[in-house]
Amino acid sequence: MTGAPGEQARPRWVLPGVGVAAGFIAGLFGVGGGIFIAPGLMLLGGFRRRVAHGTSLATSALFAAAGVVAYALNEAVDVVAAALIFAGSGLGVLAGVEMLNRVRIRTLQVAFVVLLAVTAGRMLAGTAESTGELSLTLAVAFGLVGCGVLVGLVAGLMGVGGGVIVVPALVLLFELGDVTAKGTSLLVVLPTAIVGTLRNLRNDNVDLRGALVIGAGGMLSAFGGGLLAGVIPSAVSSVLFAGLLIVIALRMIRDMLREPGQPGGRSNGRRSPGPHPPVAGDEGGRIA
């Protein structure tokens, strides 16, 4: 595989460095980290959108694997809740991956931004105290599966592990404790990202070497972030998570407003008519 233009000029520490930062965020907040990896691959590596999203989803699996170990050590993982959410997300991610190559995602991006903003506002408003245990009923079980379907669709379409939905849903809707919600989220992200990556491989939308380079830099920091999450007060954690959602929403708005001719500037990944210089990713856009 050939490298992206400028590959030789880019310091070798850039992608592992992005991995360290994204891995720490993934572990601390119980998310996959892909929401930061995908734009990093497009901006720093010249990846086309679909390969960037597919590669970031693969990286999310590595971060989740490291982070969930840290939460499990603190007994902050609800395996039953995770299994029910994955029952939905395993189907949703397959549908999302298939839609990735067929649909315009601008409308979905707008809806996702609104969802992030509303969720951030709700978390800043405060949450009820919780024992950290889920009271499982038939209605709750169906709710968790439905949440999983939404998580899977978002994961497949946008290359994220889905933790930005799972964590606030568990805290706000199911009144699960903050730390347990994050650990459970990572346990959901892990198989969801694996299923999505396997399907993305069939569509040639993953650069496995790039994912390994980034993942190698971030797995240890994801573990450290998971350990740190267990000692941060719940109120502080909610404010920090809300801030994370706001940052993600602002970044998505910026991306949607970018000039269409720039890599990743169009939501459907198509080029405008007329001559174009070679774009990294159209011929591979991967790590050499």
The answer to whether position 189 is within a domain reads yes
The answer to whether position 284 is within a domain reads no
pLDDT at 276: 38
* DSSP string for the chain: -PPPTTTTTS-TTHHHHHHHHHHHHHHHHTS-SHHHHHHHHHHHH---HHHHHHHHHHHHHHHHHHHHHHHHHTT---HHHHHHHHHHHHHHHHHHHHHHTTS--HHHHHHHHHHHHHHHHHHHT------S-----HHHHHHHHHHHHHHHHHHHHHS--SHHHHHHIIIIIS---HHHHHHHHHHHHHHHHHHHHHHHHHTT---HHHHHHHHHHHHHHHHHHHHHHTTS-HHHHHHHHHHHHHHHHHHHHHHHHS-TTSTT-STT-PPPSS-----TTTT-----
Q: Encode pLDDT of 228-257 as tens digits.
A: 988 888 788 888 888 888 888 887 788 788
Output 87 or 287, whichever has higher pLDDT: 87
The answer to whether position 282 is within a domain reads no
The answer to whether position 40 is within a domain reads yes
pLDDT at 257: 82
Lowest mean pLDDT among 20-24, 227-231, 234-238, 283-287: 283-287
Output 281 or 83, whichever has higher pLDDT: 83
pLDDT at 63: 92
The answer to whether position 83 is within a domain reads yes
Is the pLDDT confidence value at 122 over 80? Answer: no
The answer to whether position 92 is within a domain reads yes
pLDDT at 66: 93
Work out the percent of the chain whose per-residue pLDDT is above 90.
17
Give the residue numbers spanning the domain of 159.
14-257
pLDDT at 3: 41
The answer to whether position 236 is within a domain reads yes
Output 80 or 165, whichever has higher pLDDT: 80
Q: Encode pLDDT of 198-229 as tens digits.
A: 888 888 888 888 888 888 878 999 999 999 98
The answer to whether position 272 is within a domain reads no
Q: Encode pLDDT of 130-170 as tens digits.
A: 555 777 889 999 999 999 898 888 777 766 667 888 888 88
pLDDT at 41: 75
Q: How many domains does the chain have?
A: 1
Is the pLDDT confidence value at 68 over 70? Answer: yes
Question: 281 falls in which pLDDT band (50, 70, 90)?
Answer: very low
Question: 7 falls in which pLDDT band (50, 70, 90)?
Answer: very low
